[in-house]
């Protein structure tokens, strides 16, 4: 048996020095451990995703090829599989192949080129890569035969996908004609809800079907809103996992030392999730969601040179969960929670914000908004009167002004202090319908929960409380109160208006979002569908119609806001993140 290293590294797009140094260090360590073969993820040398940078920064291409030459020179006594962007040097072709170089004894003995180029969702392979028209020849080490697949190449098993595959060829079937003992899949595969179950079933099926060993090496890292979970692993010929690297962390695992060591996945991550219907039981995805966001925060901050975060604490669910995630990712001493109560902020909210900060041990400061907002209001009111054009009879101006002043304070604090980033606390349900203020709560250097819907956030809150030794870190009152921005008073009740009064129940909204994202439902489909909410509450056809129409109207208008959302972490099955989903601002959806 050959000794094999799964080098699950973290890369930075275009940073050839950084990436090649990691690769070199791993190869040296692998040689010290007498490994026969070391495998890196897809595009390890260039970093992924690299977008269009090579078009305007051509020197990256030369640097990459020089680095590959040097790395190849280190391959004496070892075989190294190094993913790189291989120039086609052909004006009639796309600029690159998405390739894996097989470096052995100082030479590149073979190159495997990706055949299936995904060009949907967050993938844009066909923008940059030329597809290979045949599978790479297998190669040998000590009599063992290996065949290479690049990520998507493994995702077209006809029987597994039952005719729902989008490509005509199956590179696995073609590669297997050469009878390799082991298939190696070099990947950059982002983590999403329900993805691990799919991958594991598929890889296991392939190993069993062809009675072949299957090695999967995935990048561990974050870029451009996507978290790559790592979780590299080996399947034996029966489709059983014999080794698994860590999740959401770089790793370096060697078969002989580690075979049999199967690092645990986040709780429930490998479980099947019902993709046919919406439900609010998020239990199998909460730990992964939590760890995915933690990893995203750590990576984004570190790679951009930030160490500290400042956020507004309203005493509500969104900012509380953001504070907890930031404290866990950056260290509680690096998080500043700022309470900025206005005259209509309730005592309960103020208290909850303080209790939460104390429970988390983060820094806390109260900056009352009243004394800064009043002078601005009076200047504005006099200006409003001078502008002779239609005014709204009921306007959201003062509500938005509060949110914008709060964000201005946070940005000012981050401006004044080193390596500090202000945080946008918008969640997915609210972003979807634009229930967030531009330059206000949706503004920041990072938006941790922008892909988590409200009903899932409540579940996440309970989950996060449960996994900590400390009781009720997020106070029960925060988990129980109806969400609301506390920006205005309902004159009838004298209380602040809660969000569900203004919009619709979150459970109903989240179910609409689910069916639009996963099933492409339009008005009629939604109207004819029986919502979970309807099983618990009476709902007239009029109200149902109103809510569904409100969703389409508001989400149409919110597209502008989606376009300017701060960087975030994709965690859901689908998202509105522009890395994945592109809706022109000028477009009509209903």
Instruction: For the CB of residue 470, give the shortest distance to a copy of itself in the complex, in Å.
Output: 24
Identify the residue among 80, 182, 566, 571 touching a copy of itself (CB under 8 A).
566
Rule CB under 8 A: which of 122-161 touch a copy of itself?
Answer: 124, 126-127
300 contacts a copy of itself (rule: CB under 8 A): yes
Rule CB under 8 A: which of 336-355 touch a copy of itself?
Answer: 336, 338
Instruction: For the CB of residue 522, give the shortest distance to a copy of itself in the complex, in Å.
Output: 4
Rule CB under 8 A: which of 226-285 touch a copy of itself?
Answer: none
Note if 430 is an active site residue: no
Is 399 in a helix, a strand, or coil? helix
Q: Which of 560, 563, 568, 561 is nearest to 436 (CA)?
A: 561
Instruction: For the CB of residue 11, give the shortest distance to a copy of itself in the complex, in Å.
Output: 10
Q: 127 or 134: whose CB is closer to a copy of itself?
A: 127
Rule CB under 8 A: which of 463-502 touch a copy of itself?
Answer: none
Q: 334 or 496: whose CB is closer to a copy of itself?
A: 334
Rule CB under 8 A: which of 435-464 touch a copy of itself?
Answer: 438-439, 443, 445
Cα-Cα end-to-end distance for the chain:
60
Question: What DSSP designation does 309 have?
Answer: E
CB of 158 closer than 8 Å to CB of 149: no
Between 11 and 30, how does the x/- string for binding to a copy of itself read (CB under 8 A)? -xxxx--x------------
560 contacts a copy of itself (rule: CB under 8 A): yes
Question: CA-CA distances (angstroms) from residue 103 to 17, 111, 161?
Answer: 19, 9, 34
590 contacts a copy of itself (rule: CB under 8 A): yes
Instruction: For the CB of residue 204, give the shortest distance to a copy of itself in the complex, in Å.
Output: 24
Rule CB under 8 A: which of 411-430 touch a copy of itself?
Answer: 411-413, 415-420
Instruction: For the CB of residue 184, give the shortest distance to a copy of itself in the complex, in Å.
Output: 26
Give the torsion sign (CA, 491, 434, 409, 397).
negative
CB of 213 closer than 8 Å to CB of 204: no
Question: CA-CA distances (angstroms) from residue 379 to 103, 217, 375, 409?
Answer: 69, 60, 6, 19
Listed in sequence order, the residues at least 6 apart from 173 whose beta carbon sits closer than 8 Å to its beta carbon are 157, 158
Reading the block at residue 258, the tokens are 């580690």
Rule CB under 8 A: which of 392-411 touch a copy of itself?
Answer: 392, 395-397, 400-401, 404-405, 407-409, 411
Q: 473 or 576: whose CB is closer to a copy of itself?
A: 576
Note if 580 is an active site residue: no
Cα–Cα distance measured from residue 107 to residue 411, given in angstroms and rounded to the nearest whole number: 52
Instruction: For the CB of residue 577, give the shortest distance to a copy of itself in the complex, in Å.
Output: 11
Angle at 532 between CA 528 and CA 535, to 5 degrees: 90
Phi, psi of 291 (to 5 degrees): -70, -30
Identify the residue among 159, 389, 470, 528 touching a copy of itself (CB under 8 A).
389
Note if 42 is an active site residue: yes
Q: 172 or 473: whose CB is closer to a copy of itself?
A: 172
Instruction: For the CB of residue 332, give the shortest distance to a copy of itself in the complex, in Å.
Output: 13
Q: 214 or 551: whose CB is closer to a copy of itself?
A: 551
Listed in sequence order, the residues at least 6 apart from 342 whose beta carbon sits closer than 8 Å to its beta carbon are 368, 369, 370, 373, 402, 486
- Name the active-site residue from 22, 63, 114, 291: 114
Rule CB under 8 A: which of 92-121 touch a copy of itself?
Answer: 92-94, 119-120
Reading the block at residue 380, the tokens are 């504005």
70 contacts a copy of itself (rule: CB under 8 A): no
Rule CB under 8 A: which of 567-586 touch a copy of itself?
Answer: 567, 574, 578, 581-586
CB of 7 closer than 8 Å to CB of 30: yes
- Name the active-site residue from 22, 42, 199, 291: 42
Listed in sequence order, the residues at least 6 apart from 448 whose beta carbon sits closer than 8 Å to its beta carbon are 293, 296, 297, 321, 322, 325, 326, 423, 425, 568, 569
Rule CB under 8 A: which of 510-549 touch a copy of itself?
Answer: 516-517, 520-525
CB of 188 closer than 8 Å to CB of 219: yes
Q: 213 or 443: whose CB is closer to a copy of itself?
A: 443
Burial profile 170-206: b = 16 or more Cβ within 10 angstroms, e = fewer? bbbeebbeeebbbbbbbbbbbbbbbbbbebbebbbbb
Active site residues: 42, 114, 151
């Amino acid at each position: 048996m050959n000794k094999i290293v799964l080098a699950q590294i973290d890369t930075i797009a275009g940073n050839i020095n950084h990436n090649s140094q990691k690769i070199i260090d791993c190869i040296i360590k692998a040689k010290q451990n007498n490994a026969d073969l070391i495998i890196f993820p897809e595009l390890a040398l260039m970093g992924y995703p690299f977008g269009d940078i090579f078009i305007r920064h051509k020197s990256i291409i030369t640097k990459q090829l020089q680095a590959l030459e040097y790395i190849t020179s280190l391959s004496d006594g070892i075989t190294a599989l190094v993913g790189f962007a291989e120039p086609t040097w052909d004006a009639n072709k796309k600029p690159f192949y998405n390739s894996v170089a097989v470096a052995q004894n100082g030479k590149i003995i073979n190159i495997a080129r990706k055949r299936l180029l995904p060009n949907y969702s967050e993938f844009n392979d066909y923008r940059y890569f030329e597809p290979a028209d045949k599978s790479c020849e297998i190669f040998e080490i000590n009599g063992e035969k290996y065949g290479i697949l690049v990520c998507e190449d493994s995702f077209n098993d006809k029987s597994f996908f039952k005719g729902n595959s989008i490509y005509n060829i199956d590179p696995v079937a073609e590669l297997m004609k050469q009878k390799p003992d082991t298939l190696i899949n070099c990947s950059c595969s982002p983590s999403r809800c329900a993805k691990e179950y799919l991958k594991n079933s598929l890889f296991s099926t392939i190993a069993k079907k062809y009675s072949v060993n299957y090695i999967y090496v995935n990048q561990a890292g974050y870029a451009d809103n996507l978290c790559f979970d790592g979780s590299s692993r080996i399947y034996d010929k029966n489709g059983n996992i014999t080794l698994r690297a860590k999740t959401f962390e770089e790793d370096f695992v060697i078969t002989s030392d580690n075979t049999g060591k199967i690092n645990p996945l986040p709780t429930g991550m490998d479980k099947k999730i019902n993709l046919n219907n919406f439900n609010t039981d998020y239990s199998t995805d909460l730990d992964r969601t939590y760890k995915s966001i933690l990893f995203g925060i750590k990576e984004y901050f570190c790679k951009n040179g930030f160490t500290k975060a400042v956020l507004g604490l309203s005493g509500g669910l969104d900012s509380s969960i953001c504070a907890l995630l930031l404290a866990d990712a950056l260290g509680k001493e690096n998080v500043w929670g700022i309470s900025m109560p206005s005259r209509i902020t309730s005592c309960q909210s103020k208290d909850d914000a303080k209790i939460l900060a104390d429970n988390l041990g983060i820094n806390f400061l109260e900056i009352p908004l009243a004394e800064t907002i009043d002078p601005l209001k009076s200047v504005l009111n006099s200006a409003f009167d001078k502008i002779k054009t239609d005014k709204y009879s009921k306007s959201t101006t003062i509500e938005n002004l509060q949110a914008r002043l709060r964000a201005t304070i946070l940005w000012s604090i981050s401006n004044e202090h080193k390596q500090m980033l202000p945080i946008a606390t918008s969640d997915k349900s609210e972003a979807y319908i634009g229930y967030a203020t531009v330059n206000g709560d949706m503004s920041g250097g990072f938006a941790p929960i922008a892909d988590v819907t409200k009903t899932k956030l409540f579940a996440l809150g309970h989950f996060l409380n449960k996994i900590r030794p400390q009781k009720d870190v997020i106070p029960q009152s925060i988990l129980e109160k109806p969400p609301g921005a506390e920006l205005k008073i309902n004159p009838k009740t004298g209380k602040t208006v809660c969000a569900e009064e203004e919009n619709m129940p979150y459970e109903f909204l989240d179910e609409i979002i689910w069916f639009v994202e996963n099933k492409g439902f339009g008005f009629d489909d939604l109207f004819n569908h029986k919502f979970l909410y309807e099983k618990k509450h009476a709902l007239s056809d009029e109200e149902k119609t109103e809510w569904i129409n409100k969703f389409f109207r508001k989400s149409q208008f919110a597209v502008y806001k989606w376009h300017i959302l701060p960087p975030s972490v994709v965690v859901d099955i689908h998202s509105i993140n522009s890395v994945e989903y592109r809706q022109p601002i000028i477009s009509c959806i209903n």
